[in-house]
Structure 1
Amino acid sequence: MGPQRIVCLTEEPTETLYLLGEQDRIVGISGFTVRPPQARKEKPKVSAFTSAKIGEILKLKPDFVIGFSDIQAEIAAELIKHGVEVWISNHRSVAGIVDYVRRLGALVGAGERAAALAGELERNLDAARERAARLPRRPKVYFEEWDSPQITGIAWVSELVGIAGGDDVFPEHAAMPLARDRILADPLEVVRRAPELILGSWCGKKFRPEQVAARAGWSEVPAVRDGELHEVKSPIILQPGPAALTAGVDELSRIIAGWAQRRAG
């Protein structure tokens, strides 16, 4: 049977449970949830990412709350003090996302469906790798997930860039799980690493290529010179759930293939 009244503090458990057909167990979601769209219409919104309406959550009488990472530690602690069972996942890699789907499925008694979903995700990644293998060149890619301060991409994003056919210019930053450890101390380091493609996904706000291009010294960056600055919507890439391994990697593949085609021309 598993838990019957689940509150999801982030989007990825909501998306996963809907994909597994277990959405009726969800009694509350994050206000940042956009996938699937019907979740916003059907479920009460009781949390942001770093804050939550503890009283509203308790009124829902959850028997299980799912969150993500150390950033939600205080929310989890407060709920635990009220006797609520909480699972905080902390996966930050592509393999971790696939395993997360399997584990969540097992927790709600949908292990077989979760295994099938995980298999679909892995096949989509394999298809992206095959497309990338046919590219004539791999671009050097700078992925920016926030603009002020400038923060580089987290591990699963860096991995997906690689799967889609690009090479992250800050792989050492991607290994850092916390955003504060991925802040660029010197923005001119981007100039020195000379990315040919800049991808922006400013969590929760629109990416502004013109602002990036206007940064002091950045006119020398190949991606800026060639106008290769592109947005990847944050809901499909910055959530460590199924979206990143489907819509997210597909969008990366599209952008990188377009870059390769333009270079070939």
Structure 2
Amino acid sequence: MELPTIPSHPLNVTDQMGRRVAVPFPPRRIVSLVPSQTELLFDLGLGEKVVGVTKFCIHPTEARTQATVIGGTKNFDFEKIAALKPDLIIGNKEENYQAGIEQLAAEYPVWLSDISNLPEALDMIRRVGFIVGAKEKAAALAADIEASFADLALPAASTAAPESVAYFIWRKPYMVATTGTFIDDMLRRAGFANAFAGLSRYPEISADQLVAANPQCIFLSSEPYPFAAKHMAEFQALCPAAKIEIVDGELFSWYGSRLRKSAAYFSQLR
């Protein structure tokens, strides 16, 4: 028996890019183009309404079996998306590509996030909760995350300078996360100083630049490059005095509900 259609009402909102978007409220067929925002939607209880996700949406485990995989974050399958008849698409300025977003926005309501720090992530969580009809749950989630980071703050009595860290996201070529990135904000909140703070975003660096920076710590992220223990000796040879660690990239770069786990994880890295 087919359930009766419940009418939706247009909700005019502004996304984090300052774009005005008319979203049916409540949305019933959501395509998520960003892994961390997919996980957020499921944690807000919207899993049954998520009809499309990317191949990188690995959390929760059922996301890619319950919903249709519509390609990657930077190469959408437009035919698959059209077949899903979405009434809301949620993306991100950095993780998605402008041409693809513009093509989708010509046909569907597309809400974009733009996140480079914790306050913007919390704002995204609250705004997404509002547009999908889970305002209270999203507000509670954001408050919990905010409180966990407040508890993470360094004790006021501490006078020690923060350890310098080089955070690697790629190998061949070497690439690091620096000023202006969400990862950089997470490093600062975790009590570290970015060894490449004078550079911008995700620059390529040479082995000589790493040696000259002489970081006290080198973090090798588990994503997007799959750094593993076998890579540690390569960096230890360049910086013999540095502490080398493989770190959970999701807890440094996923800006949705996974942030609930980040502060506790960061406290163990000090």
Q: Give the TM interval when normalised to the shorter protein.
A: 0.7 to 0.9
The CA deviation at 1:135 is: 9.9
In 1, Cα distance between equivalents of 2:71 and 2:89:
11
Partner of 2:265: 251
Which ranges of structure 2 fall in alignment gaps of 5 or more residues?
1-24
Residue 26 of structure 2 corresponds to residue 2 of structure 1: yes
Q: Are the aligned partners of 2:154 and 2:191 in contact in 1 as well (CA < 8 Å)?
A: no
SS at match of 2:75: coil
Match for 2:195 among 132, 157, 169? 169
Deviations 1:146-175 (A, max 9, x none): 1222222252212212222222212233x5
In 2, Cα distance between equivalents of 1:88 and 1:148:
31
In 2, Cα distance between equivalents of 1:73 and 1:113:
31
Which amino acid in 1 is paired with 2:86? P
Which amino acid in 2 is paired with 1:241? G
The CA deviation at 1:47 is: 2.4
In 2, Cα distance between equivalents of 1:90 and 1:145:
20
Partner of 1:183: 204
Which amino acid in 1 is paired with 2:187? V
Match for 1:15 among 36, 39, 60? 39
Q: Are the aligned partners of 2:207 and 2:238 in contact in 1 as well (CA < 8 Å)?
A: no
Q: Are the aligned partners of 1:5 and 1:25 in contact in 2 as well (CA < 8 Å)?
A: yes
Partner of 2:250: 235
SS at match of 1:171: coil
Q: Are the aligned partners of 1:31 and 1:47 in contact in 2 as well (CA < 8 Å)?
A: yes
Which amino acid in 2 is paired with 1:124? S
The answer to which structure has the higher strand fraction is: 2
The CA deviation at 1:28 is: 0.8
In 1, Cα distance between equivalents of 2:102 and 2:85:
17
Alignment of 1:130-141 (within 5 A): 130=154, 138-141=162-165
In 2, Cα distance between equivalents of 1:211 and 1:121:
32
Query: What is the aligned residue count?
Result: 243
In 1, Cα distance between equivalents of 2:198 and 2:216:
18
In 2, Cα distance between equivalents of 1:42 and 1:142:
38
With structure 1 as the length reference, what TM-score do the two structures score?
0.81
Deviations 1:129-159 (A, max 9, x none): 2579779773211111112222222522122
Q: Are the aligned partners of 1:141 and 1:168 in contact in 2 as well (CA < 8 Å)?
A: yes
Which runs of structure 1 show a deviation greater than 4 angstroms over 4 or more consecutive aligned residues? 130-137
Q: Are the aligned partners of 1:5 and 1:27 in contact in 2 as well (CA < 8 Å)?
A: yes
The CA deviation at 1:84 is: 1.3
Alignment of 1:200-219 (within 5 A): 200-201=220-221, 203-208=223-228, 210-211=230-231, 213-214=233-234, 218-219=237-238
Deviations 1:166-198 (A, max 9, x none): 22212233x53xx3xx222x4322222221111
Deviations 1:191-238 (A, max 9, x none): 2222111111153442145545436x9534521xxxx21122333323
In 1, Cα distance between equivalents of 2:76 and 2:43:
25
The CA deviation at 1:57 is: 0.8
Residue 217 of structure 2 corresponds to residue 197 of structure 1: yes
Residue 133 to residue 50, structure 1, CA distance change in 2 (3 Å)? farther
Residue 126 to residue 62, structure 1, CA distance change in 2 (3 Å)? same
Identical pairs, percent: 25
The answer to which structure has the higher helix fraction is: 1
SS at match of 2:218: strand
With structure 2 as the length reference, what TM-score do the two structures score?
0.80
